[in-house]
A and B are shown apart, each in its own frame.
Chain A
Amino acid sequence: GAVVSQHPSRVICKSGTSVKIECRSLDFQATTMFWYRQFPKKSLMLMATSNEGSKATYEQGVEKDKFLINHASLTLSTLTVTSAHPEDSSFYICSATFANTGELFFGEGSRLTVL
């Protein structure tokens, strides 16, 4: 099956710093990538939908200036958490789909801890 890779898998940073998380589709061109946030034992909350070469579409309540999403190529999308605070600590997961197949391929997730 298709492979989506996230990096880093774990990151710890100080409050006020920015953190970038990468999401790569390794063996296919992802027309659309999605970014989710997940709290412990909770479901995935869609943050934004990212299409290659265009601005991301953010869900209501998600600060676009706080969570910068860039989808510069068909194989890479990045999420940058700017000026991170402890409340931004969470598990962030990306997924990708291609050719409107209706199937999502997930990355392994990135656990962010802000001290």
Chain B
Amino acid sequence: TQLLEQSPQFLSIQEGENLTVYCNSSSVFSSLQWYRQEPGEGPVLLVTVVTGGEVKKLKRLTFQFGDARKDSSLHITAAQPGDTGLYLCAGDLYTGNQFYFGTGTSLTVIP
């Protein structure tokens, strides 16, 4: 069982649609990050959230960190084919300097 569960696991949508990806855990994190990864490459950091309840916006992407610091969400508005990729949340626990990744969400945006 992984520490961070993401849903949905796979998502295929039409260009222009909105979507939300969830990242949930029973553990508390000091910070949580979202990454996007393309095949054969390392993950690329999108955002870091550190405060419970925090909301960050990055163009069409909106990230939220849960009040209890156990969950997060990523909302994409008007998805584009360039948004296609594997989205990963990752968190570091208060109990140690270790980063754990979520189960991943594979997004496909169809033109």
B6 to chain A: which residues have CB within 8 Å?
43
Interface residue B45 (Cβ < 8 Å from any Cβ of A) = yes
Q: Identify which of A49, A102, A106, A108 gathers the most chain B CB atoms within 10 Å of its CB.
A: A102
Binds A, one of B52-60, B67-75, B85-93: B85-93
Q: A13 near B: Cβ within 8 Å?
A: no
Minimum Cβ distance to chain A for residue B30 (Å)? 7
Complex contact B104–A43 (CB within 8 A):
yes
Shortest distance in angstroms between A1's beta carbon and chain B's nearest beta carbon?
8
A43 — nearest CB in chain B belongs to which residue?
A: B104
Range, interface on chain A: 20 to 34
Does B41 contact A104, Cβ atoms closer than 8 Å?
no
Q: Give Cα A41–Cα B48 distance, bound, in whole angstroms.
A: 23
Assess the B50–A102 pair: CB atoms within 8 A: yes
Does B97 sit at the interface, judged by CB under 8 A?
A: yes
Query: A107 to chain B: which residues have CB within 8 Å?
Result: 42
Interface residues of A in 45-86 (CB under 8 A from B): 45-46, 49, 57
A42 to B44, CA, bound (A): 16
Instruction: Report whether B41 and A41 are in contact in the complex, using a CB–CB cutoff of 8 Å.
Output: no
Q: Is B2 an interface residue (CB 8 A)?
A: yes
In the complex, how many residues of chain B place their beta carbon closer than 8 angstroms to a beta carbon of chain A?
Answer: 26
Cβ distance B80 to chain A, nearest Cβ, rounded Å: 21
Residues from chain B with a CB closer than 8 A to the CB of A97 are 97, 99
User: Are B101 and A43 closer than 8 Å at their CB atoms?
Assistant: yes
Known: A42-B104, A102-B31. A34 touches B42 (CB 8 A): no
Residue of B nearest to A100 (CB): B97
In the complex, what residues of B have CB within 8 A of residue A91's CB? 40
Whether the Cβ atoms of B88 and A43 lie closer than 8 Å is: yes
Q: Given A102-B48, A108-B42, A109-B40, A43 and B103 touching (CB < 8 A)?
A: yes
Q: Which residues of A are found within 8 Å of B40, using beta-carbon distances?
A: 91, 109, 111
Question: How far is it, in angstroms, between the C-alpha of A102 and the C-alpha of B50 when the chains are bound?
Answer: 9
Which residues does A use to contact B, with CB under 8 Å?
4, 6, 32, 34, 36, 41-46, 49, 57, 91, 93, 95, 97, 100, 102-104, 106-109, 111
